Amino acid sequence: MQNNQASSGEDELIRLLLKRQSELNSLLEVTRAINKNTPTATLFQMLEVILKNYLQIGKFRFMIEKSGSFSCIAKYGGVIESPIVLNNTWKQLSKLKAPSSLRDHADKVLNTYNYFIPIYHKNKALAFALIGDFNIADDMLSNDLNFVQTLINVIVVALENKRLFRERIAAERFQREMELAVEVQNMLVPLREHKEQCVEVDAKYLPHQDIGGDYYDFFRLNENEFMWCVADVSGKGISAALLMANFQASLHGLVAIEDDLTTVVERLNKIVIRNTKGERFITLFLAKYNERTRKLCYVNAGHNPTILYADGGAVQLKLGTTMIGAFDELPFLNEGEIDVDPGSLLFNYTDGLMDLESTSNKSWDEDKMMEYVIDNGHLDPDAFNEGLMHHINNVVKGKLIDDITLLTLRIT
């Protein structure tokens, strides 16, 4: 009889050792799969095979935390509950911190399962599992529940590492895109100061973020004419920068072959529509000045009106059309023409200058802007722009919430 007892004890020990060896082998296979960056779906298949074939678990639900709620990411066996029902089960279980029996639970969904297995990290619930149709000897119950918890925990950690890796890659890609966008924009707006016998130019660009949607340009067409443009592209980042680059190339190409500004704007509208499928738009002020005739021709396409200062007075240049890129055909298009006397100042800006958040009791609107121009229009362009930014920063105390571009010209 003693021999029989000894033999039974040895058999039990061998069975236990084999079971532990199988558990280690299962964990090793899962770990190898994780290290090989095996797809998530394959990891779930491996988990299902281990639970079904090795542990004989007939019903399983694997819930993982996402943005404050729980989503079922793996399941098999029994009648599959709705996502809402499964998510609500956490409210019944959140106080349980260790594997627990559900056999006598009051909830009619939960009592169809045998056990609840939570996964925590630093007191934060990351996931939990529900297992049912699971019959195991009492002497092995604790061991099997701990094994299931360990196995699920390994997979949860792998999923979290995959998520963090994707976020890092996305952040690096975004950073590179922003660097490219900054490079593109720096190539688009190299001009800060320019001075000739008949014109003096000063530009200021203050991006709200690393890369914005503002664009400005100044270039000579021929011996008697020069052109400038101020524009605001909807959106930010590399897509806005690339759209600006395409817009600049299109503008330079068109004005080289077209004298009429309305034709240029119409064709720019078609180009933007073709490139963006109506998903982005551009507001712009485009002007051409003839030094010999002193005629200024312009089109304002939904942009903040340029202000012309002369002889102590100021007017807004509003004639034009709506923004480009919004309609297949512009609904109306009017070219403005005005004589510009020597000594006149032309002030161009983008809407970021008017969208400031004031931290003082000083108001800031178009009327205040006109007052500033009338009071300071006699200054040279650099002093005018510097004085305006000083006024915004120290008197209005405006907080930047969008890009600001200033382009000021003195016609001599």
> What's the rounded Cα separation, in Å, for the pair 348 and 208?
18
- Structural domains in the chain, CATH included, are 2-167 (3.30.450.40), 189-411 (3.60.40.10)
Q: How many other CB atoms are found less than 10 A from the CB of residue 279?
A: 11
Q: Which amino acid is at 367?
A: D
As beta bridge partners, residue 199 has: 411
Percent of the chain beyond pLDDT 90?
Answer: 49
> pLDDT-based confidence at 53, cuts 50/70/90?
confident
Q: Work out the average pLDDT over 77-97.
A: 89
Which of 18-22, 152-156, 317-321, 346-350 is least confident?
Answer: 18-22
Q: Is the pLDDT of residue 182 over 70?
A: no
What is the mean pLDDT of the segment spanning 386-409? 85
pLDDT for 211: 61
The answer on pLDDT for 286 being more than 80 is yes
Q: What is the mean pLDDT of residues 24-47?
A: 87
Q: Per-residue confidence at 58, pLDDT binned at 50, 70, 90?
A: very high
pLDDT of 2 > 60? The answer is no
Determine the pLDDT at residue 170.
85
- DSSP label of 332: -
**Which of 142-156, 157-171, 282-296 has the highest average model confidence (pLDDT)?**
282-296
Q: What band does 190 get if pLDDT is binned at 50, 70 and 90?
A: low
Facing residues of 229 across strands? 217, 286
Alpha carbon distance 99, 102 (integer Å): 10
Say what the pLDDT of residue 76 is.
94
Task: Write down the pTM of the prediction.
Answer: 0.62
Q: Which two three-digit tokens encode residue 142?
A: 């604790």
Q: Which tens digits make up the pLDDT trace of 373-383? A: 999 999 999 99
| Residue 381, pLDDT score | 96
Burial of 250 (0-12, 13-18, 19+ CB in 10 A): middle
| Range from 9-23, 91-105, 294-308 that averages highest in pLDDT | 294-308
Residue 13 binned pLDDT confidence (cut-offs 50, 70, 90): low
Paired tokens of 352: 């970021």
Average pLDDT of the chain? 87
User: With b meaning 16 or more CB within 10 Å and e meaning fewer, what string describes 38-62?
Assistant: eeeeebbebbbebbeeebebbbbbb
In contact, 314 and 374? CB cutoff 8 Å = yes
What contacts 24+ positions apart, CB below 8 Å, involve 161-169?
Answer: 162/40
Looking at residue 3, what is its pLDDT?
A: 53
pLDDT number for residue 329: 94
Alpha carbon distances (Å) from 119 to 65, 97, 116: 10, 8, 10
Residue 174: C-alpha distances to residues 170, 209, 290, 305 (Å)? 6, 13, 44, 34
Model confidence pLDDT, tens digit, residues 207-258: 766 566 788 999 999 999 999 999 998 877 677 777 888 898 899 999 999 9
Which range is least confidently modeled, 6-10, 111-115, 288-292, 354-358? 6-10
Query: Structure tokens of 321?
Result: 């059309």
217 and 254 in contact (C-beta within 8 Å)? no
Q: What is the DSSP letter of 302?
A: B
274: left (phi over 0), alpha (psi -120 to 50) or beta: alpha
E-state strands within 77-141: 100-101, 115-121, 124-132
Q: What are the tens digits of pLDDT across the range 319-372?
A: 999 999 999 999 999 999 999 999 999 999 998 888 877 777 777 888 999 999
Burial class (CB in 10 A: 0-12, 13-18, 19+), 398: buried
pLDDT digits (tens, 9 = 90+) for 316-332: 999 999 999 999 999 99
